[in-house]
């Protein structure tokens, strides 16, 4: 997943770019010791690549994932969240819940996406996703939360999706699509209202879902 938030930072040095390339190769060539050594690299992009390499090799430990989820750099935390989607480490469960409230919006956005991929954790994440969908200051986070609520299709998430129909056009479009997952009269009624939305893409999405 490519985050939609970008941060302005000095470009990596030649040396750090080379280390990053080496750790990526380690992940493809089966050298976990080399990848593990780079988890403590001073350059965030190298640490992020190390997480990916260990994940590719299927040998990232719970402790390593826990430390990566708590890394001071958002880039590393985002990469660790991608690992959470396909692993069952206890650290992933706790880290995902914590990062749904991260101070960095780009991390929160990826955490929302990850939560939508982990239906087994819905009991821990739906309430947080609802708060993000309705109250987060960043529209991209609200949109990501709405998408995940649709993916999870948890009954407790429907009110937040309905509320999102009053948000900005991109969030409203995402909310309309999310409604398709809910077998509830309120969802169908909301789709009928969306047929008259001022945004043509919102109207089109509603028409498609209603078969009109």
**What's the pLDDT at 2?**
43
Are the beta carbons of 174 and 162 closer than 8 angstroms?
Answer: no
Q: Which value, to the nearest 10 degrees, does the dihedral of the CA atoms of residues 210, 205, 109, 183 take? A: 0
Neighbours of 79 (CB within 10 A): 25
**What's the pLDDT at 15?**
87
Dist CA 165 CA 154 (whole Å): 17
End-to-end CA distance of the chain: 33
The HSE-up count of residue 87 (CA atoms within 13 Å, CB side) is 27
Phi, psi angles (nearest 5°) of residue 97: -60, -45
Low-confidence residues of the chain: pLDDT under 50: 1-3, 5-7
Name all domains of the chain by residue range, CATH numbers in brackets.
Answer: 121-212 (1.25.10.10)
Take residue 176 and report the two structure tokens written for it: 């309309």
Convert the pLDDT of each residue in 183-205 to its tens digit: 999 999 999 999 999 999 999 99
Q: Which value, to the nearest 10 degrees, does the dihedral of the CA atoms of residues 113, 125, 104, 168 take? A: 70
Q: Indicate the pTM of the whole model.
A: 0.89
Dist CA 4 CA 52 (whole Å): 19
Phi, psi angles (nearest 5°) of residue 141: -70, -40
Beta strand residue intervals within 2-160, DSSP E: none
Exposure of 172 by Cβ count < 10 A (0-12 exposed, 13-18 middle, 19+ buried)?
buried
**What's the pLDDT at 59?**
95
**What's the pLDDT at 196?**
96
Q: Give the chain's radius of gyration (CA, Å).
A: 19
Dist CA 46 CA 62 (whole Å): 19
Q: Which value, to the nearest 10 degrees, does the dihedral of the CA atoms of residues 157, 159, 160, 162 take? A: 120
């Amino acid at each position: 997943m490519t985050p939609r938030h970008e941060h302005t930072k000095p470009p990596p040095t030649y040396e750090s770019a080379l280390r990053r390339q080496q750790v990526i190769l380690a992940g493809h060539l089966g050298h976990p010791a080399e990848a593990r050594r780079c988890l403590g690299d001073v350059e965030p992009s190298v640490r992020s690549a190390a997480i990916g390499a260990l994940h590719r090799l299927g040998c990232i430990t719970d402790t390593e994932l826990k430390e990566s989820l708590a890394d001071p750099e958002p880039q590393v935390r985002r990469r660790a969240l991608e690992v959470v989607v396909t692993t069952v480490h206890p650290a992933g469960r706790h880290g995902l819940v914590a990062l749904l409230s991260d101070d960095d919006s780009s991390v929160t956005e990826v955490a929302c996406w990850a939560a939508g991929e982990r239906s087994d954790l819905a009991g821990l994440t739906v309430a947080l996703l609802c708060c993000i969908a309705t109250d987060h200051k960043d529209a991209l986070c609200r949109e990501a939360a709405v998408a995940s609520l649709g993916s999870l299709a948890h009954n407790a998430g429907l009110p937040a999706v309905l509320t999102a129909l009053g948000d900005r056009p991109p969030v409203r479009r995402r909310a309309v699509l999310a409604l398709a997952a809910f077998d509830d009269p309120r969802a169908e009624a909301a789709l009928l209202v969306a047929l008259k939305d001022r945004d043509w893409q919102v109207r089109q999405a509603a028409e498609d879902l209603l078969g009109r």
